[in-house]
A and B are shown apart, each in its own frame.
Chain A
Amino acid sequence: MTHLDGNAVAGDLAAIFTGDLSGAVATCAGCGVTGPVATVMVYEGMGEVLRCPDCDTVLLRLMRVAGETRLDMRGVSLLRWQSAA
């Protein structure tokens, strides 16, 4: 089976990441705890750093530079939220 390129999911990704994620539920890749994104610890300064409230693992890092948004999500093993109707 051949694979498609990223354009095939562009519409799906756009729909995913324009919504408000504060009600989403994240699973920490460090300790496995699951909780609402709204309850994570956020440290601001050179960028935004979201950490697990249970084990301090960096869940997500966000930076905006030169018209580009950079998102590192290696500390989130699963993110889930209600689909739009």
Chain B
Amino acid sequence: MGTTRGFFRRRSGDDERLPPGQYLERGFPVLSAGPTPHVPLDQWDFSITGSLSEERSWTWDEFLALPREDFTVDIHCVTTWTKLDTQWTGVSVDTLLDGVELEGGYLTALCDGGYTTNLPVEDVTGGKAWVVYQYDGEELEPEHGGPARLLVPHLYFWKSAKWVRRLIFTDEDEPGFWEQLGYHDRGDPWLEQRYQGD
């Protein structure tokens, strides 16, 4: 790849970070399938339930006291935008599951407002997924999923469910809100898994 001269020169390597069919977005578009929920933090909790050896739940204060990670990742929306180098703070799903034995191979993320999305367990374990509550060093804005959202950056962004409250572990893969309508059950942007059958 040659070097482009000019004020808006791309950093070398950006093109390699764009999955097929995606364009580079500088802003942070907001996509919502419904109204933004506003749950007071003293009524917020987070839980893991379903096919696992021990169900757990945390209040907001307990959640903030869990070991946190700061990390920088690229995110890819199925509506074809990709945003590079987004900075997040949150709790790794590995930390939430520490010492818990999973009995099924899948999970459903359940959110305030009723949104759901389904994922294979191996896509949220091994340092690949977080429940985040800060973006770019600030508390996560409600329109971007605050107070907390799931973040699974290696899959299309609809899997990174906004306003997440519970991870329900399941034996079978149970299609979520968009997956029921025909979006892909896994959603790997590098394989362009946008719709069922891709």
Contact = CB atoms under 8 A, between A and B. Distances in A.
B41 interface: no
B102 to A, nearest CB: 29
B35 interface: yes
A65 B195 CA distance: 8
B78 interface: yes
A56 B31 contact: no
A46 B31 contact: yes
A23 interface: no
Interface in B168-189: 178, 180-183
A47 interface: yes
Report which residue of A46, A56, A58, A63 has the largest number of chain B beta carbons within 10 angstroms of its beta carbon.
Answer: A46
A45 B35 contact: no
Interface residues of A, number: 15
Contacts of A61: 181
B21 interface: no
Nearest to A47: B181
Given A56-B34, A56-B113, A58-B34, A47 B195 contact: no
Interface string A65-83: 1100010100000000000
Contact of B35 (A41, A47, A63): A41
B87 interface: no
A43 B79 contact: no
Contacts of B180: 72
A11 B14 CA distance: 53
10 contacts: A43-B34, A45-B33, A45-B79, A46-B33, A51-B34, A51-B35, A56-B35, A61-B181, A63-B182, A72-B180
Interface of A: 41, 43, 45-47, 49, 51, 56, 58, 61, 63, 65-66, 70, 72
Interface of B: 31-35, 78-79, 113-114, 158, 178, 180-183, 195
